[in-house]
Amino acid sequence: MWQEDRHQRIRALLSTLQRVSTERIMTDLGVSRETVRRDLLDLEALGELKRVHGGAIQSADEAPIAERAQTRVKFKAAIAKAATGIIVSGQTLFIDAGTTTTLLAEELAKLANLTIITNSIDVALKLRGTDNQPAANEVILLGGSISTRALATVGGRAVAEIQRYRADLALLSPVAIDHQHGASNFDHGETEIARAMVTHADRVAILADYSKLGQRSRIAYCPINRIDLLITNKKAADADDFPILHKKLEKIILA
């Protein structure tokens, strides 16, 4: 059986069972334990499963954005407010889609003379002007396909448009951040946007509330040595991963 065929069979088993043992995969696929081990390692590296003792489980999905928008709001708002302290008039900013970056947009609407490039429709709407009060910043909404997970554009067209620009600073809100893998996301489309923003920005600021520290999602997009600044909550200092993050990161702001 070809490798991709085995991977598809393992994906199907996980989709049905949510948890599958090494023995079950060996029996269903008719392959050796070592072959299963290699396949699980490959699929884990792609963020498609998590290996556990005796087998594998599905990677945990991210909660819907409408649900996330109602959680830890005061902590996210504190991060958004702190982020404005690192922004300088005249800068060009990349901002990805997320509940924290939507709150950041509300703070940026109070500033002026910025160019903001985003795939988030929510961010763009927060920053748009009105007939009575024109927008104080230039806002560029990236084209592309509309994500099924959030009000945001994703896909090859959006990534290609990012590549046309060079930003002074990318402000990104990942699903998780840890000292080994850096910032990571669950969704492939959202990850490609964030990765392109990292590539085409001079500096990267990660906005992550305390619950995301020491966690890992499916797909890493920004290694720890590429993060110039982490903005999180004071409560994050209690996280097990915080001391190592503190040593590895150039700067951390506790809001």
Question: Do residues 128 and 244 both lie within one domain?
Answer: yes
End residue of a domain, out of 41, 58, 75: 58
Domain extent at residue 194 = 65-254
Please, which residues bridge with residue 205 across strands?
171, 229
Coarse DSSP helix, strand, coil percentages of the chain, rounded to the nearest 5 percent = 40, 25, 35
> What's the CATH number where 242 sits?
3.40.50.1360
Per-residue pLDDT of the chain (255 residues; tens, 9 = 90+): 788 889 989 988 987 887 899 999 999 999 999 999 999 998 887 777 888 888 998 776 666 666 677 788 999 999 999 999 999 999 999 999 999 999 999 999 999 999 999 999 999 999 997 767 778 999 999 999 999 888 999 999 999 999 999 999 999 999 999 999 999 998 889 999 999 999 999 999 999 999 999 988 888 999 999 999 999 999 999 999 999 999 999 899 999
- pLDDT value at position 127? 95
Would the pTM of this model clear 0.75, i.e. be above it? Answer: yes
User: What pLDDT is recorded for position 5?
Assistant: 87
Of 56, 47, 82, nearest in space to 221 by CA: 47
Do 88 and 153 lie in one domain? The reply is yes
Q: What is the pLDDT of residue 161?
A: 98
Please report, for the domain that includes residue 51, its CATH number. Answer: 1.10.10.10
DSSP letters for 136-148: SSEEEE--SEEPS
Task: Verify that 171 and 227 share a domain, yes or no.
Answer: yes
**Domain total in the chain:** 2
For the chain, the farthest-separated pair of C-alpha atoms sits apart, in whole angstroms, at 70
Give the pLDDT of residue 2: 87
Strands 201-207 and 167-172: parallel
Q: Are 191 and 223 contained in the same domain?
A: yes
Between the alpha carbon of residue 46 and those of residues 9, 105, 231, the distances in Å are: 16, 32, 27
Asked if 20 and 131 sit in the same domain, the reply is no
| Phi, psi torsion values for 7, nearest 5 degrees | -60, -40
Write down which residue in 58, 73, 93 finishes a domain: 58
84 and 31 share a domain? no
What per-residue confidence (pLDDT) applies to 8?
87
Residue carrying the six token digits 């099924």: 148
Residues 37 and 86 in one domain: no
- 198 within 8 A of 170, measured Cβ to Cβ: yes
Please say which residue of 58, 78, 96 terminates a domain.
58
Please tell me whether residues 71 and 24 are part of one structural domain.
no
Give pLDDT, residue 66: 65
The verdict on 74 and 47 lying in the same domain is no
In this predicted structure, what is the pLDDT of residue 17? Answer: 85
Rounded-to-integer distance, Cα 205 and Cα 246, Å: 14
Is residue 99 helix, strand or coil? helix
Question: Residue 70: what pLDDT?
Answer: 76
Range 212-248 burial, b when 16+ CB lie within 10 A, else e:
bbbbbbbbbbbebebbbbbbbbebbeebebbeebeee
Q: Are residues 225 and 189 in the same domain?
A: yes
> Are residues 180 and 102 located together in one domain of the fold?
yes
Question: CA triplet 238, 80, 143: central angle to 5 degrees?
Answer: 125
* Residue 237 sits in the same domain as residue 180: yes
